[in-house]
Amino acid sequence: MEYILQPWPWYVSGPCIAIVMFLLLYFGRTFGMSSNLRTLCAIGGAGKRVAFFKFDWKSQRWNLVVVLGAIFGGFIAHYFLSNPIHMDLSEATVKDLTALGFNDIGQSLLPPELFRWNSVFSLKGILILIIGGFLVGFGTRYAGGCTSGHAITGLSSLQLPSLIAVIGFFIGGLIMIHLIYPILF
């Protein structure tokens, strides 16, 4: 049980993610979490105005069920399968974040500086979450997939478009962390 309660090492977690991908393919579907965003837009009636959302979203219900499961899995893992969080981040990361003004680094999954409600309701706080979320939602559909669809499924099936997309993910991520963060914080 202690092994389960501790954070799982990468060499256990990575293969588990591949099993998730494989099971969904075995069920005749595919592993793509961002497609659910499009489905949710369609359910909300976006198909009436924009052709991109005019599709049979009911055929995508299985994927929404995966999402429901994932939310429930997050609940189980966090409340029943975890010791109090004390992340084993690298010293360099802790040092860099301290320099940027972060506190209690790695004591929770998300930094209170960005996700605690009083941070969220500052102008900077809300803009970070809204702009970040918007770029993820826009970019993933533009690129035709996210980490699950491109980085895991696409790379596992040796598809060149996915490699290009993953290179894009890193170009964007590196620009944000190395060039934009020093201005933001």
Tell me the CB-side half-sphere exposure of residue 139, using CA atoms within 13 A.
17
Which of 162, 10, 183, 126 minimizes the C-alpha distance to 134? 126
Applying CB under 8 A, among 2, 48, 90, 183 the residue interacting with other proteins is 90
Which H helix or E strand runs over 21? helix 10-26
Task: Determine which residue in the list 103, 122, 157, 182 makes contact with other proteins, applying CB under 8 A.
Answer: 157
- Give the separation between CA 163 and CA 151, rounded to whole angstroms: 7
Contact pick of 58, 86, 103, 167 for other proteins (by CB under 8 A):
167
Contacts of 145 (CB under 8 A, 6+ apart): 32, 34, 153, 154, 162, 165
Chain-centroid distance, C-alpha 160 = 22
Chosen residue from 58, 98, 124, 133 binding other proteins by CB under 8 A: 133
Binding mask 47-86 for other proteins (x = CB under 8 A): ---xxxx-------xxx-xxxxxxxxxxxxxxx-xx----
> Measured between alpha carbons, how far is 157 from 99 in angstroms, rounded to an integer?
41
87 binds other proteins per the rule CB under 8 A: yes
Least CB distance to other proteins at residue 133 (A): 3
Q: Name the minimum Å distance from CB 1 to other proteins.
A: 13
Contact between 30 and other proteins by CB under 8 A: the answer reads yes
In 27-90, which residue ranges form alpha helices assigned H by DSSP? 35-43, 61-80
Distance CA 71, CA 64 (A): 11
Cβ of residue 56: shortest distance to other proteins, in angstroms? 16
The answer to whether residue 158 forms part of the interface with other proteins (CB under 8 A) is: yes
If binding is defined by CB under 8 A, does position 99 make contact with other proteins?
A: no
**CB of 164 vs other proteins, minimal distance in Å:** 4
> With binding defined as CB under 8 A, does residue 24 bind other proteins?
yes
Q: Is 140 in the site for other proteins (CB under 8 A)?
A: yes
Contact status: 1 vs other proteins (CB under 8 A): no
